[in-house]
Amino acid sequence: MQFEKNVQVKQPKYQQIAVDLASKIVERKYRIGDKIYARSSLASQYNVSSETARRAIAVLQDLEIVEATKGSGVIIISYEKAAYFVRQFQDVQSVHELQHELMTSIQKQHQELINLQEKTKQLISRTEHFRSVNPFIPYQLEMTAESPCIQQTVQELNFWQNTSSTIVGIRRKNELFLSPGPYVSLEEGDILYFIGNDESFARVQSFLYPN
């Protein structure tokens, strides 16, 4: 059996009344041997029907917390069993609350994932559109010590032949060299700006960092 995500488990009214009465016993508001309200008074106090009040008393009687006899009414007979009943109820409530919090968290994460997927789609769509109307927006890649191409010139590397991409600029610290030409050497820390087709970035990255 599977419940809908937003369904909350709620205890029947008669059980809530039984727990409330047991809690009052635990809190010493009622003592062993005390009589508690008759069904009609109990029904009026909790604003429920006499049948609901009867069922609440029946729960306590079944658990041997109270004893109901004709003529004597409902008498409290066990503090320990009232405490045990209250602890059990609180444990069940805690489980229900944790389940509810978990489901709420899952729903939030699911919604966040949907939002993330939607934003990603929008970004991809806009990026593709931007590149379609601005085909010369360059890619960029940093030269690090891991590249075997450090200290080699663009000509020595046959950069265009190996990558089908054209270097349009190199930023070196605070300087930017536009159209650097074939004789410029690549140095550690350089930022390369290059243009090409959709596969250019992957090809350049694989060429400069073959490992």
| Per-residue pLDDT tens digits for 169-195 | 999 998 999 989 899 999 999 999 999
What is the C-alpha separation between 89 and 11, in angstroms, rounded? 10
The residue among 89, 70, 86 whose CA lies nearest residue 78 is: 86
What are the residues facing 120 on neighbouring strands? Answer: none
pLDDT over 80 at 3, yes or no: no
For helices 13-26 and 50-62, the axis angle rounded to 10 degrees is 50
Distances (CA, A) of 168 to 117, 140, 188, 202: 34, 10, 18, 17
The C-alpha torsion from 111 through 112 and 116 to 122, rounded to 10°, is: 50
DSSP strand E in 4-138: where? 35-36, 66-69, 73-76
Question: Measuring CA to CA, which residue among 167, 137, 135 is closest to residue 149?
Answer: 167
pLDDT at 132: 60
Q: Could you report the per-residue pLDDT of 47-88, keeping only the tens digit for each?
A: 999 899 889 989 999 999 998 877 667 888 999 999 988 888
Q: Give residue 156's pLDDT.
A: 95
At residue 127, the pLDDT reads 64
Supply the pTM of this predicted model: 0.41
